[in-house]
Structure 1
Amino acid sequence: MRLMTATEASRGFSSVLDEAEHGETIVITRDGRRVAEIRPASTGNADALRAFARDWGAEHGSDPEGARAAPAELDALDDVLTDDSDRWNE
């Protein structure tokens, strides 16, 4: 983790982003107080998970039997959760 003043961050914002892209967390300070953090973006796939849950719910409704996910649905959910693609670069 690196500390940087707001002035330094604004003057070298491109390099701040480069550092974050390479895994560094930068804490931005103003008048000696911590005011923000810039860190690598999550590679989570929340949009795909929400779409999966919405589609699965539409297929199974409120049926108690449908509330229990079948192995195929669990496999699909596992595929979504373990997707390592970098959506930021798409």
Structure 2
Amino acid sequence: MRTMTATEASRNFSDLLDAIERGETVTITRGHHPVAEIRPASRRTGADLRAALADIPPPDERFTEDIAAALELVVTEEADPWAGA
């Protein structure tokens, strides 16, 4: 893991991003104290979402009805959000 000061990170930001993009984790310090750790972003895919939701049961009929009722309250053809304002 690489360490650099906040000043170095600011002055070499493009190089810092290049290093992170290559997979490095960089600790940023200020006054000899670590203040941040920057690492590559996690990439999320549809497969990740499907895996995360695999063990969760689908919504029941009541949930579906509640959502439909809520949408009816806020979505109408002639809705005027500024009426009565």
With the length of structure 2 as denominator, give the TM-score of the two structures: 0.55
Which consecutive residues of structure 1, in runs of 5 or more, have no partner in the other structure?
A: 64-90
1:36 aligns to 2:40 (yes or no): no
- Cα separation, 2, equivalents of 1:21 and 1:33: 24
Root-mean-square deviation (CA, aligned residues, Å) is 2.8
- Cα separation, 2, equivalents of 1:38 and 1:49: 24
Partner of 1:62: 60
Partner of 2:17: 17
Higher relative contact order (CA 8 A, sep 6+): 1
Letter in 2 for 1:61: P
Percent identity of equivalent pairs:
56
Bigger Rg over Cα: 2
- Cα separation, 2, equivalents of 1:36 and 1:4: 10
- Cα separation, 2, equivalents of 1:7 and 1:61: 51
- Cα separation, 2, equivalents of 1:61 and 1:5: 49
With the length of structure 1 as denominator, give the TM-score of the two structures: 0.53
